[in-house]
Amino acid sequence: MKPKLSLATPYLFLFPALLILGLTVGLPALQAFYLSFTEYQYDLTQAPQWVGLKNFSILMKDELFWKTLGNTVLYLAGVVPILVSLSLGLAILVNQTLRGITWFRAAFYTPVIVSLVVAGIAWKALYASNGFFNQLLKQMGLGDGIPWLTDPKLAIWSVMLVTIWKGLGYYMVIYLAGLQGISPELYEAASLDGSDGWRKHLDITVPLMRPYILLVSVISAISATKVFEEIFVMTQGGPLNSSKTVVYYLYEQAFQNLEISYACTIGLVLFLVIFILSLFNLYLSRQTNQSQF
């Protein structure tokens, strides 16, 4: 006879994980929310002073914040469409039944397991004035090189390239899981109707992959909104704040200027932006599910 389980049994198993999550994520988040309404610079001798919405008022007039927000939106617009489309095309390519295809999948996925710090240092060396890219341009007779990371108009785009290179393999795997769930019979039926080559992917693959495309869009958008390591390693937000994002600005306020309350205010605004993206994802998911039935 099997013993009867109490209704509280599942929660007892979850309790240790929930406790750790609450102490490491929930409690600091609540503290940051409180500090955003106070005036507090890191000082162990003074307690936070309640100031209400003063920090938000300062933030609304902070030109540098709006510049970093604009850079973040630009990063979002520059990275997400390429990651969504290019990783899908890559997944279609490596989904073929060819000899040695697993080696190609591993090769494309390798950048994902490389540390962002290591990748940033390596790409910074490639972008250097005497680095590989500029040396290649000189050998081809295309000038003395390009100031990849020192030109305010190019710096953020150069960093975007690293993010795209790093994320392609990760999103390729997500798409690959979806592609392997599509029946080959659908492609055979499409070929009989005259849909062949890349046309079959427009008619069959893309419609059936819409949930995965939506998932990749949201994940890559959230990741692009929170980009930090590449900026920290490669440009430090420069030149002239041209590559400084909201997260990097938050880091400067918290750990360089020790303006803890102001940094928490920036973090709260960033949380609201990501929360809106998540709600937008939920809305699109429901619309996609409704259109499929």
Contacting residues for 79 by C-beta, under 8 A, at least 6 apart: 160, 163, 164, 167, 220, 224
What is the count of structural domains for the chain?
Answer: 1
Q: Is residue 58 part of a domain?
A: no
For residue 249, count other CB atoms closer than 10 A to its CB: 25
Contact 210, 288 (CB under 8 A): yes
Half-sphere exposure of 188 (CA within 13 A, CB side): 3
In CATH, what number is assigned to the domain containing residue 239?
Answer: 1.10.3720.10
What whole-number distance in Å separates Cα of residue 273 and Cα of residue 7?
Answer: 37
CB atoms within 10 A of CB 11: 10
Specify the pLDDT at position 292: 57
Determine the pLDDT at residue 68. Answer: 95
User: What residue spans of the chain are helical by DSSP H?
Assistant: 9-21, 27-35, 54-60, 63-94, 101-113, 116-127, 132-139, 155-179, 184-192, 199-200, 206-208, 210-225, 229-234, 246-251, 260-291
| Domain-located, residue 199 | yes
Q: Is 11 within a domain?
A: no
Structure-token match 């059936």, residue found: 208
Q: How far apart are CA 160 and CA 150, in angstroms?
A: 15
What is the span of the domain harbouring residue 77? 73-291
Nearest to 112 by CA among 155, 60, 172: 172
38 in a structural domain: no
Q: Is residue 28 part of a domain?
A: no
Does 50 map to a domain? no
Residues with pLDDT less than 70, the chain: 1-5, 41-45, 285, 288-293
Residue 86 lies in a domain: yes
49 phi and psi angles, rounded to 5 deg: -110, 125
- Residue 61 within any structural domain of the chain: no
